[in-house]
Every structure is written in C-alpha cells, then in structure tokens.
Chain A
Amino acid sequence: MNHLKRKEVAFFGKITAGITHEMKNVLAIIQESSGLMEDILDITENGTFPHKDKFIKSLDRIRGQIQRGIDITSRLNRFAHSPDHCPASLDLNEITQQMVLLASRFARLKNVVLESSPSDPPLVIKSDPVSLEMALFESIEILLNIIGSGGKIKLVPRKIQNKCVLGIGYENTVIPEEDFMTKISSTERWASLQEIMAYLGGTAKVFGLAPEILLYLPESIDN
C-alpha cells in the first residue's frame, strides 16, 4: 500500500472510530434512561400503574436493541482501529472471528451462514491488518457470488505443510476442482484477491470438492 493510500485508510479509520464513540454515548444515554424507567416501575406499587406489564415488555425490547447496537458499534470500532498499526501481530483466530461478525450481514442476504473454526494453538503472523481483512472479505464475496442460496461458509485458520493458511470453504455442496476454478476465475474479484495476496507476500489457491479458497500467508510480511 503506498503512502497516500495508507493515509487515506488511516483517515477513514480515525473518523469512523470517533463516530463509534459518539454512537456509544447515545446508546449509553438510552440505556440509562430506559434503566431509570425500569427502576421507577420497580418501586411502583402493583396495581397503581396501568399497563405495567406492557411497559416492562417494551423496555425489555429496548434493552435488547441497545445490546445489539453496542455489539454492532463495538465491531465497527474494532474494525476502524485496524489501520492503527501496520504491520501488526495478528492472531488468525481473532481476525477470522472479527470477519465473521463484519460480513455476516452480506452472507445473511444470501441466506448463507458464516462461521469460523479456531485453530489450536492459535496462529499468529505479522501482516497488514487492513489488507488481510480485505483478502478475507474478497474470498467470502467470491464464494457468495458463485454459490446458490443457503448453506454455510466456514473460515478455518490452520497449518498446511508447515505454512499458515486461512481456508474459506463452502459446506453443503460438492464441486469438481476444475469447475470450481473455472467459476472462480471468471469473477473480477479473483484477480483482486490475487493482487491483495501478492501484496501480503502470499498466494490464493483453490481446492474443489468441498469448495475452498486457501490463502497461504507468510509468517511475516517483511519476509
């Protein structure tokens, strides 16, 4: 990534992170205000507050949505901080879990479930966090574009022949490797993924039958 691009990404990250803090403040105020309403209902004698049960149910719904808002803004905040350090030590379990949360909406629109399966022990590499997240997202999008509705995409960090690999695989179907390669090569995103992987000092390969994109990553981007 050139210097100007890096500055652009850092700029977007900084502004987004600042806004997520503001959003959290809004959520905190809503949380305390609905909490205060609950407190008041708690100390109100039974029978003196009409429709108390309905109010409690409504406050429960508000509480659920506040928690949802907190989860979403936390994810966005973590993502916005991705460009803070580059290269950075990255736990591949953490980055796949993060990407599952960030990309789940895109998968849900295709009725696809997104999951990660952590490696034990965790694999830690030194890499560019933003580009690695882009590579993962591109891989998910490629699979979402070539598979039909339904099924499951699983992100699996692991070692293959002593190399760190991120597998992005689609379950519930069988595709011969040649067919899978043909389908993937016809997407513009495959070329984009190859470009990102070259920058990261790695390669993207495919594996058919249980269709899977394998991202081979160096232990350190410096190498």
Chain B
Amino acid sequence: MVIKKTRINKKAQIKLQEMAFVLVAIVIFFALVIMIYLVTRTGSLKESAEEQRREEVQLLGLKLADSPEFSWSGCSGCIDIDKAVAVKERRAYKDFWKVYYLMIERVYPNHTIRECTREVFPDCNTITIINSTYYGTPTAAYVALCGYDENNHDRCELGRIYISEKEVK
C-alpha cells in the first residue's frame, strides 16, 4: 500500500516537473519575444524621432524661405537670391533667427565653387548667412532660388538651404 502511494507521488512529481519545465520554457520564450520587440521598437522610435527632427528643421528652412527677408514675390517658397546676398552682409541678421548655421547653396545650374559676395555674385555657389563656431550637422532642404538674369528676366534655379537649429528637442 505504502509502496503504491510512493510510486503515485513520484509520478505526480515528475508530471509537476514536466509542467514546470514547459512553463519556464514558455516564460523564457515570451521574455525573448518581448525583448526583441522592444529593442526593434526602440530602435525605430529613435530613428523616427531623428527623422521628425530633421523634417522640423527642413520645415523651418522652408518657413525662412517664405519670410520677408528671403521671399521672392513670383512664387511661394522661393528664395530671392539677391535678398539673400544682401542679408548676408548685414550684421543685424546674425542673431535674428535662432539658428547656429544658415547657408544657401546653388545646386543647378553649376556655378564656380566659392562664397558669394556682392563683388563676385552671380559667379559663386554658396551664401553663408550665419556661421557659428559650433553648429553640429546641418539639415538641408531643396528650394527654388530666384532672381533676375543679365537681361532682367525672372530666372529660377535649384538650391539647397542648410540649417542647424539652436534648440534641439
């Protein structure tokens, strides 16, 4: 009688052990799945936060393009390149916008690679308006740069506006 009871107990113990193993395996599996998911999700969250920040800076660039200091009357979102050269030479604008770096590059058509000043314009390709000592990596957005050609006709070209924001969220 006693021997039979002990046998049953042992069998039940083995069954319990089996169940415990299965439960532990399932818990480990779930933990792994959740961990992998969280790692992927965090990675993509960081990526999307960075992307969002980049988009915000790009929008700031386009907003600047529409400001009275840069806007071209012929089309919305276009930069008046003559205004940009004039703004570059005025010291009052160095702290006007909350940006560390503000530069306009003429992308198409090709121009001589050098900084624009009133003397060399239009034979130049960059207009650096604000250039602080520290500015990190600037974000760029494509814009249309417009002005008058030698025959006084409206002419737009493709450019890029580079911005490095002061307040990084």
A binds B: no
Q: Which residues of A contact B (CB under 8 A)?
A: none
Identify the B interface with A (CB < 8 A).
none
